[in-house]
Copies of this chain bind each other. A is one copy, B any other.
Amino acid sequence: MVATTATLLVSCPEQKGLVAKIANFIYTNNGNIIHADHHTDHQAGLFLSRIEWELDGFRLARDEIADAFNAVATPLQAQWQLHFSDTIPRVAIWVGQQEHCLYDLLWRIQSKQLNANVVCIVSNHKKLEPIAQQFGIEYYYFPVTSDNKREQELKQLELIKSKKVDLVILAKYMQILGADFVRQLPQKIINIHHSFLPAFVGAKPYHQAYRRGVKIIGATAHYVTEELDAGPIIEQDVVRISHRDTVKDLIRKGKDLERIVLARAVRLHLEHRILVYDNKTVVFA
């Protein structure tokens, strides 16, 4: 039996006593801390912290915690989030025609390696609908053209709202999202880009990598921002290639990277281990 926990993610201007004040809040309310990690970016003058404690025995009721912590946070000018481990995040997966990342995520969620409910799968193609059926998940087909893109994205935003989606995962969606769409979902869209960013931004990165003759290829999971492939990087990994590898080999090797890097990033997000500042991530692993 895993105990239910609460997690606070806090960021505030650097000052003395921050670890003490946050830890005291937990301790004076009889909380048992099971994870505490802090980071200070001295250049940016910013303190960032993640603290997780068991709810069992904690003197504050769930609905009292936010108000109580606010009293601590306000004088520190802190921004903070509070999460409970038994609130299962609601996830939507955007896909194109490639199934490897979708399959991988669904397997991980089904086997409880990732803690999430997949509330829908969205695509501009019909191709992967059978996988959705196989896992019993609703599949929404939104064919996108340059003409109807805005309109379709508005419908997608509707869907996100109605389904109460916490996180959109772009599992090889292969479409650039409109700025309006992205702005509605800050740090709520994770994309997997099939290159070692910032190398090979944009289309066909494996072809770009092949042409440039690199000896290592990579994949990058990042939060989506308005600028293409330029959002905060959550996770990256690489694999060695050689002159014997064709573009097709790069794609094959890359698929394994994409699956793993995306899954790692999604796990870190779902476990509330990421804080973003200055277009970068702090990952409390």
User: A-side interface residues toward B, CB under 8 Å?
Assistant: 16-21, 23-24, 26-28, 30-43, 99-100, 103, 107, 111, 113, 134, 196-200, 212-216, 218, 232-238, 240, 242-244, 246, 252, 255-256, 260, 263, 278-283, 285
Contact = CB atoms under 8 A, between A and B. Distances in A.
A237 B213 contact: no
A18 B33 CA distance: 9
22 contacts: A16-B30, A18-B33, A19-B23, A20-B28, A21-B27, A37-B38, A41-B243, A43-B246, A99-B107, A100-B107, A113-B252, A199-B199, A212-B233, A213-B279, A213-B280, A214-B233, A215-B234, A216-B237, A243-B281, A243-B282, A243-B283, A256-B263
A121 to B, nearest CB: 17
A260 B252 CA distance: 12
A152 to B, nearest CB: 28
Q: How many copies does the complex hold?
A: 4
Given A16-B33, A20-B28, 9 more contacts: A16-B30, A19-B19, A19-B27, A33-B38, A103-B107, A214-B236, A216-B236, A240-B240, A244-B285
B199 A197 contact: yes
Given A20-B24, A42-B34, A100-B107, A196 B213 contact: no
Contacts of A235: 215
Contacts of A31: 16
A32 to B, nearest CB: 5
A34 B43 CA distance: 12
A196 B212 contact: no
Nearest to A16: B32
Given A99-B111, A111-B99, A285-B244, A40 B30 contact: no
Contacts of A256: 260, 263
Nearest to A43: B246
Contact of A213 (B27, B43, B103, B232): B232
Contacts of A280: 212-213, 243
Contacts of A233: 212-215
A2 to B, nearest CB: 10
A207 to B, nearest CB: 11
Nearest to A18: B33
Nearest to A114: B252
Nearest to A49: B36
